[in-house]
Structure 1
Amino acid sequence: MDIRSRIAALVCALGAMSGPVASVHAAEQVNIYSYRQPFLIQPVLDKFTEETGIETRVVFASKGLNERLQREGRNSPADVVLTSNTSNLTELVSKGLAQPVESEILEKNIPAQFRDPKGEWFGLTTRARLIYASKDRVKPGEITRYEDLADPKWKGRICTRSGKHPYNLSLFASMIANHGVEETRTWLEGVKANLARKPQGNDRAQVKAISEGVCDLSLGNSYYFGNMITNTEQPEQIEWAKSVNLVFPNQQDRGTHMFISGAAVTKHAPNRDNAVKLLEFLSGPGAQHLYAEMNFEFPVRPGTPRSALINQYIGDFKEDSMSLTEIGAHVPEASRLVDEVGFDF
Structure 2
Amino acid sequence: MKKLLLTAAFACMALANEINLYSGKGLDPKLANMFESQTGIKINIIKDKEQMAKMNAPDSKADLFMGMDVSTFAKLQNDDKLAPAKSKIIDSIVPANLKDKNNEWIGLSKRARVIVYDKKAIDPKLIQNYEDLAKPELKGKLLMRTSNVSFNRSLLASIIANDGEDKAKEWAKGTLNNLARDPKGGDREQARGVYEGIGAVGVMNSYYIITLLNSKKQSDQETAKSLGVIFPNQDGRGTHINITGIALLKSSQNKDAAIKFIEFMLSKEAQEILVSTSHEYPVNKDAKPSKEIAALGKFKEDSISLNKVANELENAQKIYKELGWK
What TM-score does the superposition give when structure 1 sets the normalisation length?
0.87
| Shift in Å, 1:87 | 1.2
| Shift in Å, 1:235 | 2.5
| Shift in Å, 1:92 | 1.3
**How many pairs does the alignment contain?**
313
The letter for the 2-side match of 1:224 is Y
| Structure 1 position 325 matched with structure 2 position 324 | no
Q: Which residue of 2 aligns with 1:342?
A: 324
Indicate conservation of the 8 Å contact 2:18/2:41, yes or no.
yes
Q: Which residue of 1 aligns with 2:21?
A: 32
The letter for the 2-side match of 1:219 is V
Aligned partners of 1:63, 1:109: CA distance in 2, in Å?
Answer: 34
Of 152, 155, 161 in structure 2, the residue corresponding to residue 171 of structure 1 is 155
Q: Please list every run of 5 or more consecutive structure 1 residues that lacks an aligned counterpart in the other structure.
A: 1-24
Q: 1:139 to 1:63 in 2, by over 3 A?
A: farther
Indicate conservation of the 8 Å contact 1:27/1:53, yes or no.
no
Aligned partners of 1:64, 1:176: CA distance in 2, in Å?
Answer: 36
| Structure 1 position 41 matched with structure 2 position 23 | no
Q: 1:46 to 1:234 in 2, by over 3 A?
A: farther
Aligned partners of 1:216, 1:62: CA distance in 2, in Å?
Answer: 36
Q: Which residue of 2 aligns with 1:12?
A: none
Q: What SS class does the counterpart of residue 256 from structure 1 fall into?
A: coil
Q: Please list every run of 5 or more consecutive structure 2 residues that lacks an aligned counterpart in the other structure.
A: 1-13
Aligned partners of 2:16, 2:173: CA distance in 1, in Å?
Answer: 57
Q: Deviations over 1:218-267 (max 9, x none)?
A: 11000101111111x22221111011011000000000000100000100
Indicate conservation of the 8 Å contact 1:97/1:266, yes or no.
yes
Indicate conservation of the 8 Å contact 2:109/2:245, yes or no.
yes
Indicate conservation of the 8 Å contact 2:15/2:254, yes or no.
no
The letter for the 1-side match of 2:18 is Q
| Shift in Å, 1:140 | 3.0
- Structure 1 window deviating more from structure 2 (52-61 vs 273-282): it is 52-61
Aligned partners of 1:32, 1:128: CA distance in 2, in Å?
Answer: 26
Q: What SS class does the counterpart of residue 62 from structure 2 fall into?
A: coil
Indicate conservation of the 8 Å contact 1:210/1:243, yes or no.
no
Indicate conservation of the 8 Å contact 1:26/1:49, yes or no.
no
The letter for the 1-side match of 2:187 is D
Q: Which residue of 1 aligns with 2:286?
A: 303
| Shift in Å, 1:160 | 0.9
| Aligned residues with identical type, % of pairs | 34
What TM-score does the superposition give when structure 2 sets the normalisation length?
0.92
Q: 1:64 to 1:204 in 2, by over 3 A?
A: farther
Of 147, 165, 175 in structure 2, the residue corresponding to residue 191 of structure 1 is 175
| Structure 1 position 150 matched with structure 2 position 134 | yes
Aligned partners of 2:244, 2:140: CA distance in 1, in Å?
Answer: 32
